[in-house]
Structure 1
């Protein structure tokens, strides 16, 4: 934050940064994978933000710079999701600014941070903005050190809670399609919300993320888990393979040239690093039950259990729900996805009967569609790329909203497969 002008109470000072403060940029750590959108009213602030976007410390930041002020932002996000951080320049007076921010608040996602760059050196305005949830107020002109320093203070504070949300997908039984759903959900999150997302394939011997994305990098998660002493943000960046504009992958080697026996805490350092470097991390957890899978699931923010509607899956799902409730007593229960529903001539347990002993509603019911899933897999495409208008693609889109907290599971109608989920939030 720029220094604040001392008032009669000698509390605050708002002023542009000094030359000495510009040197502070050298001590700023690289910023994590976040999305930053800026709205500028003057050429000076726009040029500064353009220089920031080119700085090496923001190499992983997805930056978009627009003309306009707070109202331009409110108009834009009326039909799209807001980024991790909004930087808004304004020349409005205090009353007008607060009214404009009120309009923006109506369309702003709750986890979006907001920084305001104003042209008024006003301590009262500063206090009002902070009291109303603004992360920082800066007075123009601002320098690169000011801007990057403020972003760093918001997202790289070592004492702050980890930035990213970890979502683990695990199958109640082998072959239920948990990996496919994990990969498609990670892709949907990155595409729908322009959110920087990391997909980590934890099935080192048999992982399929590299096949599903038609991307076979030379390095991946094996190097991270077998070299914990080297693990930091720079090393992680080298191991990530780019799948799309906002999606990166820690691929599994998918080779049997060594044993993959891990200690219980083996993957926890990786989780800590990815949480501090991306807003969303999706873990493809193999169908195993040992010390490390138990600890990975216990450390996850959200767990999605994929099952097919048969007796073995029901038993295993019930065991997972009961065990995870003991491991995570203060967290919400896992989410349930019923997959491969409606296989011809296969006896199935009804959805209501399956869910009744679990005490949950399924957050998605995915119909069996061998042609669609087979074509997508063989082509290295996601379901929405293969057929964006299919019911499966819509279900995966809704699942992405739910696991990221943008929607909630709505009580399912008891008849048919219609009305599988309701979204209590805007897309």
Structure 2
């Protein structure tokens, strides 16, 4: 179902603000299935936690608890298991291995949940000890370690020139996604000197990010977790605060290694990317699912937005969608909407209004503006839907209802 603390205190896994990840957690809705499951895995039950309930119980529990390494869910009696599996993927870290049981025996259903939702194995009821041991056993003993990659999207947010508010967009987009969709989100600030993501979130950067980018051979998932700062239970920040005299030498290989680890650990990775791009930034752009260009509605901003879009359209800069975000619309001295449309040839994908009272104050207080500013939530909701892979009108479907609530 997978596609991701500071040095002063060891970090926990995403979503694991309290407690450690369980090796195996199973939710089964009837006593017979629970008994067969336990006896089929006899000798391994010391590492297995079984609770009574269905996939709905699992979703509710994992909104509050750390994701286990292996999760077993019961789909019995559900008319629309696809919707529930989609909801489950939003509350689990992407590296989880999901096993399922249910009361449907048709091969089409089996293939659907494997190919569309990354379910590692499925057993239909009544369970037998032999099937549990033979088909679930290898996953639980670690003999099969492949995990489906689902939802591990990278979103690169770039300001086409200094002062466009790209960091504001990246920070608040990450917070909105983590809060409203309950996805596990990583926010990566690649401004190694003078970055402001940590300041906007009211935390301190660590020294780990520079090490990760300069020496990829030293990096492993545990190192990255310890370098990440928790922002609530669903968001982690990786940033640096190098002094002006520092001379960091990040490598493209380091950025790609870091993204590989984050994509295996988080549903979404939001990257606040310096512009113009050097080798490291180009490496990120090439793997990004979405490239978000933030500009101000003035002559220089429109010129640089058009140039940046032309550069990203080139094959060498990746092939993800390019989204234009106009920030500060309606500010004194800014260009009229008609002039923006004429310069770009189309309307911006997202327009954020001029918010002179909300944004500076939130940044100074170290509080994400999106949590207290309804106009910013409304403006960012379509962008959150787009990068989360659910481009639809607010109000339609589960995510639409969630984002609609946050947009009010």
TM-score of the aligned structures, taking structure 2 as reference length: 0.72
Residue 69 (1) aligns with residue 49 (2): no
2:361 aligns to what? Answer: 375
Q: Helix, strand or coil for the counterpart of 1:169?
A: strand
- The Cα shift of 1:115 comes to 3.9
Q: Is the 8 A contact 1:41 1:68 kept in 2?
A: yes
Q: Is the 8 A contact 1:129 1:137 kept in 2?
A: no
Moved more, 281-290 or 329-338: 329-338
Aligned-partner Cα distance in 2 for 1:334–1:152: 40
Aligned-partner Cα distance in 1 for 2:239–2:227: 9
Alignment match of 1:321 (pick from 294, 300, 309): 309
Q: 1:110 to 1:393 in 2, by over 3 A?
A: closer
Alignment match of 1:149 (pick from 119, 125, 139): 139
Alignment match of 2:110 (pick from 124, 130, 135): 130
| Structure with more contact order per residue of length (Cα contacts < 8 Å, sep ≥ 6) | 2
Residue 354 (1) aligns with residue 334 (2): no
Residue 397 (1) aligns with residue 381 (2): yes
Alignment match of 1:191 (pick from 179, 191, 194): 179
- The Cα shift of 1:175 comes to 0.4
1:243 aligns to what? Answer: 231
Alignment match of 1:337 (pick from 325, 330, 341): 325
- The Cα shift of 1:74 comes to 12
Residue 308 (1) aligns with residue 296 (2): yes
Moved more, 186-195 or 38-47: 38-47
Q: Helix, strand or coil for the counterpart of 1:339?
A: strand
Q: Helix, strand or coil for the counterpart of 1:281?
A: strand
Q: 1:244 to 1:106 in 2, by over 3 A?
A: closer
Q: Helix, strand or coil for the counterpart of 2:327?
A: strand
Alignment match of 1:296 (pick from 268, 280, 284): 284
1:4-15 residue pairs with structure 2 within 5 A? none
Aligned residue pairs, count: 350
Aligned-partner Cα distance in 1 for 2:396–2:326: 18
Q: 1:153 to 1:170 in 2, by over 3 A?
A: farther
1:139-193 CA distances to partner (integer Å, 9 max, x unpaired)?
46668x9489279899x628x6576211110001100100011011111111111
Q: Helix, strand or coil for the counterpart of 2:155?
A: strand
Q: 1:287 to 1:45 in 2, by over 3 A?
A: farther
1:213-228 residue pairs with structure 2 within 5 A? 213-228=201-216
Q: Say what the alpha-carbon RMSD is for the aligned residues.
A: 4.2
Alignment match of 2:160 (pick from 168, 172, 184): 172
- The Cα shift of 1:332 comes to 4.3
Aligned-partner Cα distance in 2 for 1:180–1:74: 34
Aligned-partner Cα distance in 2 for 1:140–1:355: 64
1:233 aligns to what? Answer: 221
Q: Helix, strand or coil for the counterpart of 1:236?
A: helix
- The Cα shift of 1:114 comes to 6.6
Aligned-partner Cα distance in 1 for 2:59–2:87: 17
Q: Is the 8 A contact 2:187 2:272 kept in 1?
A: yes
1:418 aligns to what? Answer: none
- The Cα shift of 1:404 comes to 1.3
Q: Please, which runs of 5 or more residues in structure 1 have no aligned partner? A: 1-31, 77-82, 411-420
Q: Is the 8 A contact 2:15 2:234 kept in 1?
A: no
- The structure in which a higher percent of residues are helix is 2
- The Cα shift of 1:382 comes to 0.6
Aligned-partner Cα distance in 2 for 1:245–1:152: 27
1:271 aligns to what? Answer: 259
Q: Helix, strand or coil for the counterpart of 2:357?
A: helix
1:8-54 CA distances to partner (integer Å, 9 max, x unpaired)?
xxxxxxxxxxxxxxxxxxxxxxxx85899975314684998xxx9x9
1:89 aligns to what? Answer: 74
Alignment match of 1:287 (pick from 248, 270, 275): 275
Aligned-partner Cα distance in 1 for 2:221–2:155: 20
Moved more, 189-198 or 160-169: 160-169
Aligned-partner Cα distance in 1 for 2:381–2:170: 12
1:361-387 CA distances to partner (integer Å, 9 max, x unpaired)?
4232111112101221111111133x2
- The Cα shift of 1:338 comes to 0.6
1:209-266 CA distances to partner (integer Å, 9 max, x unpaired)?
1111111143331121122111111211111111110101112124224213444444
Residue 104 (1) aligns with residue 84 (2): no
